[in-house]
Structure 1
Amino acid sequence: MASLLQIPNDESVLLRITHSNLKNFSSDLHFSLQMSVESAKEKLWKKCGTSVDSMSLELYDDAGAKVCDLNDNLRPLGFYSPHDGYRLHIIDLDPSSVTSGGWLEDTSLVEKYSISEEAYDKLDDTFRKFKERVASQNPSILEKKIPDNYMEDLCANIKVGDRCEIEPGGRRGVVKFVGRAETVAPGFWVGIQYDEPLGKHDGIVKGKRYFDCPPLHGALLRPDKVKVGDYAEHDPFEEDEI
């Protein structure tokens, strides 16, 4: 079946990779937005050892908030709207995986590896080099700061009490907060209470309460990810029908 989202062939994204079993594992990898989620998993398998069939992927934004699960292997990666600097988290579902038990990270068995700043600067495929290339193309970009009214215009039609759906991912809930969130980042944010426990908190973000909701039902998102409308709650029985 043809993809619902057409991604230009030359577009790519640089993501930070982390792993559920390998706590010290972290890597910056380039991915084509055109490649399928399954192809991305194959690329990750070669890096971390988790098999494609045992791999589940989660996408987090640059503020640490979960964006979505990449649960459709046939979708292009670009369908989930990753951006440079986002984090792709690998969950290894195989209890007998080579990554389980922590033995791959037993530092008593191997000499600890470290790299000097000089050696790191000589590497090509790093996030530091990526930022340097961006800065060389547009020297003023690093001087730009997120303005206090960032995405304020997108909040014009979003109000507390609205039903909403999150894109991508299709999670539904109700708007509980619209405004600035100083403890997170400049600009405007939308607080969501999900219908199901798919969130990260109860409305408290980095020590400040922005709204009230049950534990693990809350999320704080940029307004461009929030679509308001007459969205009913998901009926769990509908998913079981054929």
Structure 2
Amino acid sequence: MSSTANVFVVSPDTRSERRFDLHLTVQQLKNKLELITGVPVQNQAISVFNTEGDTAPAAVLNDDSKPLGFYGVKDLQIFQVSDLNPSTSFTGQLSDVSQVEKFELSEGEYAQRQDTVLAYKQQHKIGRFAEKKDEEEEEGAIPADVKVGARCEVETHVDGLHKRGTVRFVGPTKFAKGAWVGIEYDEPMGKNDGSVKGEQYFQCKPNYGVFVKSERVKIGDFPVEEINFDDEEM
């Protein structure tokens, strides 16, 4: 019998797949989950579900001294980490926008910058800046380098924010006129799971998918930017 289990960890702001030793106590697990979810140890309430559709948990990890094996934890179960006091936690601070100074950049200021996706499009005459023969061509044309599987970065007005991902769909859609580019982001900064209004155009996890016009897409060898919380002890 395996002494480890691969589970999904879900919290108010995160979702990831992790492997844990079944000999870990609940207290040791909470220490690890604080790094993964941002929820302080003292604020964590952990429920175990067999599937995402379950309404009642299979177990509640409420004894810090017990090992995970005591609760019968097994592969592919879901650890739902609830935040009992979000106002004092890192995740709560992220969710409370009143505590964050809003960064604003006018369209005019953004247009004058030379280090943006917009400037790149203008210089290389890509997207809406490309010379078009007629209105119909402008509506449906996609640059040759925007193709499924290509790494990309999506234009954003927020300084220092890199919304990177992989092109998963290129072409016309049922939700709007013209051609669209479907992207799977590296991080959950999207709006869907690759589907819009019941139509599935590509597959990805919820909030990782987005559809944009090609003029907002810059193709290149963009590395994945992420925080790695993997524990060498696991």
Instruction: Say yes or no: TM over 0.5.
Output: no
Please indicate the TM-score interval, normalised by the length of the shorter structure.
Answer: 0.3 to 0.5
Structure 2 length as normaliser, TM-score? 0.40
